[in-house]
Amino acid sequence: MFSINRVTLIGFLGKDAEVRRARNNETSYTVLSLATNRSWKDRESGEYKSEVSWHRCVAFGRAGECAASLTKGVRVQVEGEIR
């Protein structure tokens, strides 16, 4: 038996990507604030409702370098593992 920790998020950035440095000040990484939403029809009222979830995504290495130029409002797909 095995287990897997894999996630795919598709959504919009809530703010520009932030490049930060690790404590050793040599390694940089990029932090993304990603919004996803879900919509459904309320059974009782018949109204459509939605809910936004915010995700803090961290990209290292080459992925972090590419993500550094992303700006607020851009639609992105992020794949990785949950930690």
Q: Which helix (H) or strand (E) holds 65?
A: helix 61-67
User: Which CA distances in Å does 32 have to 21, 27, 80?
Assistant: 14, 17, 13
Looking at the chain, the whole-number percentage of residues with pLDDT higher than 90 is: 88
pTM, rounded to two decimals: 0.83
CB 31 within 8 A of CB 56: yes
Q: What letter represents residue 5's amino acid?
A: N
pLDDT number for residue 23: 82
Q: What average pLDDT is seen over the chain?
A: 94
What amino acid occupies position 77?
Q
Length reported for the chain: 83
pLDDT tens sequence across 44-82:
999 999 999 999 999 999 999 999 999 999 999 999 999
Query: Does residue 25 have a pLDDT over 80?
Result: no
